[in-house]
Structure 1
Amino acid sequence: MQPKTKTAMKRIATALLWGGALTGFVVLLAAAVNDKNDTKCKGIRVTLKGDDRNAFVDVKDVKAIITGDKSLNPTNKPISEVNLAQLEKIVERDPWIRSAQLFIDNNDLLQVDVEQRDPLARVFTFSGNSFYLDADGERIPVSDRFSARVPVFTNFPADAQKLRKEDSLLYAQMRDMAAYIAADTFWNAQVEQVVITEDRRFEFIPKLGDHVVYFGDGTDVANKFDRLLVFYKEGLSKAGWNTYTRLNVAFKDQVIGTRRDGKSAPPPPMYKDSSAADIAVTDDDAAVVAPVAPVTAAAAPRPAEKKPEKKVEKKQEKPAAKPQKQTPKPASAERQPRAVYQKPNQRNRN
């Protein structure tokens, strides 16, 4: 037998061996899959993910959702007949469940991984209805058995699920503000109630300190809270936490405080750097909204008004002696005001 023929026979034999091994593997795999499909589901195991402090959904609730429909109950049913996709949709219909993943493990158990919705704030509408708000902006119904410890927003103007443009903007600002408060340990402990005013602005009542913080609209949230924190450290730590009745952080780079009693305590020190804000102190609530800048602008015209008054008086003393010399000219009486007005201009030029 020639060498080329021997080589070809070896290659054919090797290919047949590999082909047989692959065929056997496929047969075994198919048998295992068929055996798996014929095996019945032994039970349900639920795993909850999310904040443990918000126990709005527990393991029993999830199992009750899955087994509620007897036709879809996977327990003691052949695995091939378990509709995992349909069960996922049913579980995710619950308003307190954000997402769910279902699969059959090697122990023939239905594994259910559930991610709960974590509320950021509780919202009370103007009509008195209430709901929770999560990070996705979804409304979560209130539970009868549990109440989450989150900041409260009051006087939201709309109850409808589909909001108008202006209500939708306010809703988004409320969500951003609630998300920032929830993410910060200090503000989560400090902010107790946020009130939505009639002009769609925010103000809140802190837990520490006898004052109200006027926040303005829900934009530039981080910067406003940073300025307020600087004021707490640099201002209230020296003047006292109960010195001011109202703090306003609505204006850019400013914190305006309204003192309870102007003589009871000195105002906090003025400061300005890259990380701090200007502090202005007013004596009444009417001046809180007005920035400090208009005061300096109004002070500028005062010295300019005094100078022309003095010059006019000096120039009017001399024309008093001239009427005797100009008596022969009757028309000069009409020209005196213009002459008096022009003389100051000539002297000013010199």
Structure 2
Amino acid sequence: MRRINWYSIRLVMVFFVMIFLYSFSSKRNSVRKINKIDIQFDSKENMFLTHQMVNNLLIQNLGDASRLQKDKVDLNTLENELSHHEMIEKAEVFSTIDGFLNTRITQKTPILRVISDNDSYYLDRKGDRISLSTNFSARVPLVVGEISKEKRKSYLKLFNEIKKDDFLSKNITGAQIMPSGNMVLTNRSFDYKIAFGKPINVQKKLRNYKAFFHHAIKDTLIKEYKEINLMFTQQVVCKK
């Protein structure tokens, strides 16, 4: 008489039980309703948006989230809608087993604020426009004048260099774009103007300015300077 292999039978039974439990839990999870929206920002800086503003954006696309089943929520659509907001650089949306809809927001980081005759706005490191916010005012250089789309890339290079340098980001407070395209920068510490010229040879000019400042700060004459000219890349010309 053939002997029954109970070990194999138990394995098969365990396998089918696991499939049943997985199917059962998946079904229950899919019909579970969204019971809470959790919103987190990746940084406490540049808080253009509030939790309530993001929550409102989600509700506009979700409707009454408390009545929605998890499997009815299109996470990709939500991410795309949030990511297209002018103040958001990146958005991640995902749900959890306990019915939480989690949203992670990376806000855009402004590097300058443009003030023209009829408009005022921020630009981020990529050149994307950010409208002014009633919730937050970024501490970035104020640029007076027009930045055309054709020349935007060269200006962005200058202000990105300023932004990533600890000394320059604290020292350079503003700029004026002249009709010729030349720029005059202002600094936080003294009354002199910085004749930067056109936004070319940016890194060389900024290195020259830093070298000048760290040397001149040791001399009381720096208070008498009216203009620091960086247009000649081989030297810094100072005028009293």
Q: TM-score, normalised by structure 2?
A: 0.89
Code of the residue aligned with 2:39 in structure 1: it is: V
What does residue 102 of structure 2 align with?
111
What does residue 68 of structure 1 align with?
60
Per-residue CA shift, 1:1-56, capped at 9, x if unaligned? Answer: 9xxx98xx86xx66554444333222211110001111111110100123x24221
What does residue 82 of structure 2 align with?
91
Are 1:246 and 2:227 an aligned pair?
yes
Superposed counterparts of 1:24-103, under 5 Å: 24-50=17-43, 52-69=44-61, 72-103=63-94
Q: In structure 1, what is the Cα distance between the partners aligned to 2:32 and 2:101? A: 12
What does residue 156 of structure 2 align with?
175
What does residue 136 of structure 2 align with?
146
Contact 1:203 1:215 in 2 (8 A): yes
Are 1:257 and 2:232 an aligned pair?
no
Code of the residue aligned with 2:107 in structure 1: it is: Q
Per-residue CA shift, 1:70-126, capped at 9, x if unaligned? Answer: x5442232112122122222222321111111111132111111111111110123x
Q: In structure 2, what is the Cα distance between the partners aligned to 1:27 and 1:208? A: 72
Contact 2:49 2:135 in 1 (8 A): no
Local SS of the residue matching 2:145: strand
What does residue 199 of structure 2 align with?
218
Code of the residue aligned with 1:55 in structure 2: it is: M
Do the aligned partners of residues 79 and 175 (structure 1) sit closer, same or farther apart at CA in structure 2, a change above 3 Å counting?
same
Code of the residue aligned with 2:65 in structure 1: it is: P
User: Pick from 95, 120, 125: which aligns with 1:130?
Assistant: 120
Local SS of the residue matching 2:67: coil
**Relative CO higher for 1 or 2, CA cutoff 8 Å, sep ≥ 6?**
2
Code of the residue aligned with 1:146 in structure 2: it is: F
Contact 1:120 1:133 in 2 (8 A): yes
Local SS of the residue matching 2:133: coil
Do the aligned partners of residues 76 and 230 (structure 1) sit closer, same or farther apart at CA in structure 2, a change above 3 Å counting?
same
Q: In structure 1, what is the Cα distance between the partners aligned to 2:230 and 2:203? A: 11
Q: In structure 2, what is the Cα distance between the partners aligned to 1:257 and 1:49? A: 44
| Gap runs ≥5 in structure 2 | none
Structure 1 residue runs of 4 or more that deviate by more than 4 Å after TM superposition: 13-17
Q: In structure 2, what is the Cα distance between the partners aligned to 1:157 and 1:24? A: 67
Cα offset, 1:176, TM superposition: 1.7
Are 1:193 and 2:174 an aligned pair?
yes
Contact 1:74 1:82 in 2 (8 A): no
Q: In structure 1, what is the Cα distance between the partners aligned to 2:22 and 2:110? A: 46
Q: In structure 2, what is the Cα distance between the partners aligned to 1:123 and 1:181? A: 15
Contact 2:47 2:107 in 1 (8 A): no
Local SS of the residue matching 1:242: helix
In the alignment of these two chains, the number of paired residues is: 240
Q: In structure 1, what is the Cα distance between the partners aligned to 2:11 and 2:193? A: 81
| Gap runs ≥5 in structure 1 | 261-350
Tell me which structure has the larger Cα radius of gyration: 1
**Greater Cα offset, 180-189 or 111-120:** 180-189
Name the Cα RMSD after superposition: 2.3
Q: In structure 2, what is the Cα distance between the partners aligned to 1:59 and 1:207? A: 34
Local SS of the residue matching 1:219: coil
Amino-acid identity (%): 20
Contact 1:72 1:83 in 2 (8 A): no
